[in-house]
Amino acid sequence: MKGMETDKRSIQREALAELMAQWCSEGKRVLAPKRSGGKVDFDRVTSLSEVSFDHVQTVQSPKSAVFPRVEELFSFRSTDGRVEIRERNLDTLPETVVFGLRPCDAAAFAALEAIFNWDGPDRLFSARRARTTLVTVACSRADEFCFCTSVGGGPGAVTGSDILLTDLGQGGFLAEIASAKGRELLSAAGSLFGPAGDADKESRLAKLPAVFPPDAVAAALAGLFAEPAFWEEQSRRCVGCGACAYVCPTCACFDIQDEGGATGKRLRCWDSCGFGLFTLHTSGHNPRPLQSQRWRQRLMHKFSYMPERQGVLGCVGCGRCARACPVDMNILEHIRAIAEARP
Amino acid sequence: MPDFQPKIVAFVCNWCTYAGADLTGTSRMKYSPQVSIIRFPCTGRIDFMLLLKAFASGADGIIVSGCHPNDCHYSSGNFHARRRWIIFRGLLDFLGIDVSRVQFSWVSAAEGAKWAQLVNETSERIRELGPFTGYQRLRGLGVG
Amino acid sequence: MNALQEKARELLATKTVRVVIGYGPGSGGQARALFVREAAQARELIFDETCLQNLAVYLMKPDVRQLGKAALVARPATLRTLLQLAAENQLEENSLLALVPGADGVLSLSTFSALEAQVASQDNELSVAEKSELEKFAAMGLDARREFWQEQFSRCLKCYACRAACPLCYCTRCTVECNQPQWIPVPAHDLGNLEWNVMRAMHLAGRCTNCGDCSRACPVGIPLYLLNQKLILDVSANFNSRSGMTAKADHSLSTFKPDDPEDFIK
């Protein structure tokens, strides 16, 4: 989608604050990065003053806007052997604006859509997605964990965003209107936007050279699957928690749980392929009994299976998994090792 | 809240308190009907999580009761339970969960009158504290 | 080569051990666990204030155990953990070398009595700052404490990083993974998160050695150390015992004294 035509405007910080106030007054749920206790994470906000702009990346991804960590799929009631199912009323799902996500986060929604709608549309996910608008803020800084440019993205990439804002300094933002939803937002608040000047967007963006070609990774992975020693070496310090999967913007594995007795709810909750229980069969057999096999699965899924089956890379280079990992499993390092490996 | 009838769950051991509560009945002593008794082999079997499960299921107060020290049918189950309760009470209090809603006691098989008094006093105290909505509200929170 | 690197090189060269589990440079200026299996690689070992992880967690991993006899770079809390693991029959005497870097070179400890003597010589108490933070909580009032923890636990993702990082959470199948019946709710909703965190704290009562790795592991920054430290103080005040001081089984919650306090029991 590089070189996609976008409608360029400008907006001042005060107008942006007004725009956000307008969304809130319309009853929209606005999720944005908020600083609390030394960490920046997405939370519900009602005013622009609550929003953090100076961080590199939030701890968690914005995926919970469309894929909450626990959600009700439907409720049920069983009486006299008859089960009555009550579907969720999708009309009550909130109209949501995710504000201040990064270009890598916006790109990640394509991966989520590919997974959830792979063999048929996921009703709940699709309804949430349809009600979600992405107003992205481009990156002026990157850290050592960022690698979006190696996986097809960039600090100022518009792909996936409805509107992309780039801070031009002195309270002004370049606003690139990149989708029909973006145009809707614009037409609802046209007076808040001004004409785009001739500001140089590129100069405001983080400089992040690409460090590996994704094709080389996929090609190398194919030959590495049956090399257990390689994966043992890679994953030795992994302790097998789910932090990487839970902060990941594209990880979409879930578990289904029923709560209640004869009357109850069916819930969908996050799960992770890093857990030993993830693939455990009822018989007691576990096809992935070792952590090294589970680590291999994580990387294969993102860099090999997803491109092959869904035509989209399962990693956007946000670096969250590496920042969140309690034992410093730095994915970029591992991917580079794979790209350079000659099995 | 004059009309409030608290739900109290009593986790009791089979050998002492359950027999004591039985004696209360056979002695025709009246006591507060708000208590639901759950019988266990021993206080040592009463997992701390059962108490939280009771609260989550709507209990407003809890009684945990078993054999007096040195009277345990299994010789030391109640001693082990006592240590666990000391720690659990401290943890609950630290988490802001009101431990005065949990009454621990020793009631022997011969103490029918003590059981009646324990239940009555506990019911009265929980009635004054009111429903444990703070805990019950947790159910369902955080589901999107 | 510094003393630690030299020691590691020698242990590997003489095949005294097959792996040295230590610290190497990691991302973001932090240290990370390093598994040194070749003598020549020993020069990558570091030991400084960034080396925080309790490496004893790896002794419980089957993937690491299969590497053969290990030497483990140990901080004060790691040494307590080793003794606690020994007390719980998870560590055999002389099956491991604990390497303790100090001003006078590197101590190499393998007998339980040597580990006990080293632990006895170090400061194992909660610091003044740690204690005063707990006192602040005690002064907060019940409702304020409830609100505080409810907010903290509402962020819990149930990623179990706290469990995975803890060397004393070594069960091969945790209670949360037993689902007949489902004891702790799987979903990370408010009730599930409270029950999980209460259970984690309770299962570590009288066992936690205050290494702090649960809190460091938590991606959303829940101060789990407060729960563990509170229980360490309670165990000490009520049972006069402290985990990780001896290799002999004296696990506070699997034993008792006839005269344990019971002023709260009617």
The Cα of B65 is separated from the nearest Cα of chain C by a number of Å equal to: 9
Q: What integer is the mean pLDDT of A275-301?
A: 94
The model's pTM is 0.95
Residue in chain B nearest C139 by alpha carbon: B94
Structure tokens at C60: 């419980």
C14 and C103 together in one domain:
yes
C157 and C224 together in one domain:
yes
Distance, in Å, from the CA atom of C195 to the CA atom of B139, rounded to the nearest integer, reads 11
Residue in B87, B136, B141 to test binding to C, most C beta-carbons within 10 Å: B87
Question: Is the CB of residue B27 less than 8 Å away from at least one CB of chain C?
Answer: no
3-class DSSP state of C231: helix
Sheet hosting strand A82-87, strand order edge to edge: A82-87, A70-79, A263-270, A254-260
In chain B, residues with a C-beta closer than 8 Å to the C-beta of A68 are 144
Confidence of residue A330 (pLDDT cuts 50, 70, 90): very high
In chain B, residues with a C-beta closer than 8 Å to the C-beta of C227 are 91, 94-95
The one-letter amino acid at A107: A
Domains, in order of start, for chain B: 8-136 (3.40.50)
In a domain, C185, yes or no: yes
In a domain, C265, yes or no: no
**Burial of residue C121 (number of CB atoms within 10 Å: 0-12, 13-18, 19+):** exposed
Question: Is the CB of residue B15 less than 8 Å away from at least one CB of chain C?
Answer: no
**pLDDT for A1:** 43
* Cβ–Cβ pairs < 8 A, chains A and B: 12
* Cβ–Cβ pairs < 8 A, chains A and C: 111
The Cα of C219 is separated from the nearest Cα of chain A by a number of Å equal to: 5
Structure tokens at C224: 């789990």
C7 and C117 together in one domain:
yes
Contact at CB, B143 and A69, closer than 8 angstroms: no
Contact at CB, A241 and C57, closer than 8 angstroms: no
Residue in chain C nearest A37 by alpha carbon: C221
Query: Rg of the Cα trace of chain A?
Result: 21
Q: What integer is the mean pLDDT of A196-213?
A: 92
The Cα of C167 is separated from the nearest Cα of chain A by a number of Å equal to: 10
Residue in B11, B43, B52, B91 to test binding to C, most C beta-carbons within 10 Å: B91
Structure tokens at A274: 């890093």
> A112 phi and psi, to 5 degrees?
-60, -45
In chain C, residues with a C-beta closer than 8 Å to the C-beta of B51 are none
pLDDT > 90: percent of chain A: 90
Question: Chains contacting C with at least 3 CB pairs below 8 Å?
Answer: A, B
Q: What integer is the mean pLDDT of A226-245?
A: 95
In chain C, residues with a C-beta closer than 8 Å to the C-beta of B49 are 183-184, 195, 198-199
Per-residue pLDDT tens over the stretch B107-133: 999 999 999 999 999 999 999 999 999
Q: What integer is the mean pLDDT of A65-88?
A: 95
- Nearest Cβ partner of A246 from C61, C157, C189? C157
Contact at CB, A291 and C61, closer than 8 angstroms: yes
The answer to whether A270 and A309 are in contact (CB under 8 A) is no
Of C88, C121, C154, which marks where a domain is finished? C121
Question: Is the CB of residue B133 less than 8 Å away from at least one CB of chain C?
Answer: no
C94 and C145 together in one domain:
no
Contact at CB, C186 and A37, closer than 8 angstroms: no
C102 and C42 together in one domain:
yes
Q: Which of B46, B93, A39 is nearest to C227 (CA)?
A: B93
Contact at CB, B144 and A71, closer than 8 angstroms: yes
The Cα of A9 is separated from the nearest Cα of chain C by a number of Å equal to: 36
Q: What integer is the mean pLDDT of B83-89?
A: 97
**pLDDT for A343:** 56
Distance, in Å, from the CA atom of A23 to the CA atom of A134, rounded to the nearest integer, reads 13
In chain B, residues with a C-beta closer than 8 Å to the C-beta of A64 are 144
Per-10-residue mean pLDDT, chain C, length 266: 95 97 96 97 97 97 92 98 96 96 94 98 95 94 96 96 97 87 92 97 96 97 97 96 91 91 93
C139 and C115 together in one domain:
no
Q: Residue A40 forms beta bridges with which residues?
A: A35
**pLDDT for A90:** 95
Question: Is the CB of residue A77 less than 8 Å away from at least one CB of chain C?
Answer: no
**pLDDT for A4:** 55
In chain A, residues with a C-beta closer than 8 Å to the C-beta of C155 are 41
**pLDDT for B2:** 62
Confidence of residue A218 (pLDDT cuts 50, 70, 90): confident
Structurally, chain C folds into a number of domains equal to: 2
Q: Domain spans of chain A?
A: 7-204, 214-340
The answer to whether A248 and A260 are in contact (CB under 8 A) is no
User: Tokens 């405007």 sit at which residue?
Assistant: A9
Q: Which residues contact A128 (CB under 8 A, 6 or more apart)?
A: A65, A66, A67, A93, A96
Residue in C21, C23, C27, C156 to test binding to A, most A beta-carbons within 10 Å: C27
Instruction: Supply the range of the domain harboring residue C209.
Output: 128-239
The one-letter amino acid at A293: Q
Distance, in Å, from the CA atom of B128 to the CA atom of C257, rounded to the nearest integer, reads 35
- Nearest Cβ partner of A257 from C159, C164, C187? C187
Residue in chain B nearest A66 by alpha carbon: B144
Q: Which residues contact A65 (CB under 8 A, 6 or more apart)?
A: A31, A42, A96, A98, A128, A132
Structure tokens at C119: 């632990």
Confidence of residue B1 (pLDDT cuts 50, 70, 90): low
In chain C, residues with a C-beta closer than 8 Å to the C-beta of A267 are 187
Please give the helix or strand (H or E) that residue C54 lies within, else none: none
3-class DSSP state of A14: helix
Residue in chain B nearest A68 by alpha carbon: B144
In a domain, C262, yes or no: no
Distance, in Å, from the CA atom of B139 to the CA atom of B135, rounded to the nearest integer, reads 8
Question: How many Cα neighbours within 13 Å face the side chain of B142?
Answer: 25
**pLDDT for A342:** 66
Backbone dihedral region of C106: left (phi > 0), alpha (psi from -120 to 50 degrees) or beta? beta
Please give the helix or strand (H or E) that residue A109 lies within, else none: helix A103-116
Residue in chain A nearest C213 by alpha carbon: A326
Q: What is the mean pLDDT of chain B?
A: 95
